[in-house]
Structure 1
Amino acid sequence: MHFRFLYKRVVAVFLVGLFFASSIIWPDLSYGKSDNEVKLNGVKSSIEAKRKAAKEKIDELKRKEKIEINKLYISQRKLEATKNDIEYCSVKLHTAKSKLTVLESQLSNISYEQNISARRAGERIKQIYKGERISILHLIFAAHDINTFLDRVYYQQRLADHDKKLLQDLRLKTRRLVNAKQDIEYQKNSIVSTIGVMNQKKSQITSSISVSQYMISKLRTDRSTYEAAEKELARQSQSIASMIGKSSRRSSIRTTTDFLRPVSGMISSPFGWRRHPIFGSRSFHSGVDIAGKNRSPIRASNTGEVVFTGWYGGYGKVVIVNHGKYKGTSTSTLYAHLSSTAVSVGQEVKQGQTVGYEGSTGYSTGPHLHFEVRLEGKPTNPLNYIP
């Protein structure tokens, strides 16, 4: 729309200029052809200069729009990376909380043992200092022989050593108590730090979402960008068809089992003509959209060979699997808008094997799987093949 508006303005300026130029040229026709030719060539040169300037301006706008689309892709990728960071922080937070629970349990046990040790030591001290133990003289006169006396002295010494050991244990457990408290404080600080990181990540996500929403709004109103995107997707679709065709001709795979649903969820957008969820115009939907939980495992619909993995324009992250001949026809499946892939090119996959994880990369308004079934490289309705 911006291009058309600019073009109309250029044409309008040209027409106005031509109108005024004609008012100068036509009265001079009777004075000779050569002067009029000079003036017409001058007008033509002026028009060509304006057309060149308009084209340069349109090319500049196209370049800026391409840059903005690339920024949208970058924003989406950063958003995915930020979500992964938040998941990592959540794991760290859970781990810190678990350690804190263990330390609190240890602190409670140490405190209990400390109280028992203190009470026992106190009882021993009372016995010593209140004279409840048998005195040395009493031990001497009460003993029937020297062996009895020595035995009593030995056991008395054992009791004293035991008291000393209790006091040492008390001091050791006290130190353990202090260390445990320090560990708990460290864990608390770590949790606070983790929460701070998570809040920063949330702010980054909010900012990324705002940028993405702005870019989506711009794409909806910019018809030329929409047309370029649709043409690019059509070219990519043809490229995929060619890629699959070449792979099918080389492949000796034969598929005999029926296809399974690659992920659980409702069909949010069917196969065929529809109004595009981002651009708002009617376009042909070459697959079905299945709405599931974000990062849900995506299963191979059937046995086959991976012929493509990676970023593919508006499709985002993609996996394409060639299933060889199915009921006599070269068949393949495409899994798009993935958050990440789990297979590589040339790898043979079994039916039900995880090939990637659900996401929202490329031209997407939220987490879902775009799933295609292609016969001889051409899209067909997947609901004719999956339950």
Structure 2
Amino acid sequence: MYKAGNASVLGLVLGAEDFSDFLTRSKVASRVAQHDQELIEEMQVKLAEIQDTKDSIEADKIDLEGTKSQQDAKRVQLAGQLADTQDQIQDIEALEQDYLANKAAIDKQMEEVQAEVDAIYAKIKSEGEYEGGIMLWPVEGYETVTSDYGWRFGGTDFHTGIDIARLNAKGEGIYGKPIRAAADGTVAFTQTTFTPGRGYGIYLIIDHGGGISTLYGHTCGLNVKLGDKVKRGQTIAFVGSTGWSTGPHLHFEVRVNGAYTSPWPYLQ
């Protein structure tokens, strides 16, 4: 009856033989119409449920595609980190091999360089008190330390600072990136020429007062000159690979009255 529509209902009523039959048929027609309405409403509910199910499936599909994209991005990130770690290992191994293969000559050269640096520090007259507090990390966004402060190469060489290198979170290399002053101070020394494979290359020293100073080595160029007053965070140089270096990095030192010390208490 529902499929026949309103015409069937009308035909049922109009086909009555008398008034009594008309009333009977009207009641039947009313019930049929009510039943049809109930069927329509039930179908509308079911259609709404089907649409909700479809929307839910589409949403799940989008979530799955998003999850897959995130997983793919994470895979690429991890692959990049693995490659970067392997590069770090190769850099350290290259530096160690160079050192061990030329240990006598390099030790002699390093002694000469340290003597030169000690002589430079002896001439630096630290002014005022150190009020810098915790120092600023010198290369923003680059947190990988490829060579820490202390003994290395199996206890055969003492590293007087930390080497900051490699990539940032965007995968950008460190070469040419700005080097920031770790604290307020005065540029106490600059070295703008260098001998390839020797010493700190192009570097500078900043006096922060109270006998505290910082050294920034292997730069590709300076952004300040001797005697300049600098502020914490100011760009003072750019990361390079000058002097005794196997790749772009910043050699960062903290010294107290000219004697090297671990930078970590000043950076953390």
TM-score (norm 1): 0.39
Partner of 2:208: 323
Distance 1:363 1:253 in 2: 33
Q: Which moved more, 1:285-294 or 1:358-367?
A: 285-294
Partner of 1:66: none
After superposition, residues 1-387 of structure 1 pair within 5 angstroms as 221-244=101-124, 247-248=125-126, 251-252=127-128, 254-263=130-139, 264-275=142-153, 282-292=156-166, 293-310=174-191, 311=193, 313-325=198-210, 330-387=211-268
Paired residue secondary structure (1:315): coil
Query: Are the equivalent residues in 2 in contact too, given 1:253–1:304 (CA < 8 A)?
Result: no
Please report how far the alpha carbon of residue 238 of structure 1 lies from its aligned counterpart in structure 2 after TM superposition: 1.8
Distance 1:334 1:218 in 2: 24
Structure of larger gyration radius: 1
Give the percent of matched residue pairs that are identical in Structure 1 and Structure 2: 39
Which structure's residues are more often helix, by fraction? 1
Distance 1:282 1:218 in 2: 13
Please report how far the alpha carbon of residue 374 of structure 1 lies from its aligned counterpart in structure 2 after TM superposition: 0.6
Please report how far the alpha carbon of residue 383 of structure 1 lies from its aligned counterpart in structure 2 after TM superposition: 1.0
Partner of 1:47: none
Please report how far the alpha carbon of residue 237 of structure 1 lies from its aligned counterpart in structure 2 after TM superposition: 3.3
Distance 2:265 2:121 in 1: 19
Paired residue secondary structure (1:314): coil
Please report how far the alpha carbon of residue 296 of structure 1 lies from its aligned counterpart in structure 2 after TM superposition: 0.7
Compared CA separation, residues 268 and 275, structure 1 to 2 (3 A): same
Structure 2 counterpart of 1:306, one-letter code: V
Partner of 1:64: none
Query: Are the equivalent residues in 1 in contact too, given 2:130–2:212 (CA < 8 A)?
Result: no
* Count of residues paired in the alignment: 160
Structure 1: give runs of 5+ residues left out of the alignment.
1-215
TM-score (norm 2): 0.55
Distance 1:290 1:219 in 2: 19
RMSD (Å), alpha carbons: 2.3
Which structure's residues are more often strand, by fraction? 2
Structure 2: give runs of 5+ residues left out of the alignment.
1-95, 167-173
Runs of 4+ with >4 A deviation = 216-220
Distance 1:290 1:348 in 2: 24
Higher relative contact order (CA 8 A, sep 6+): 2
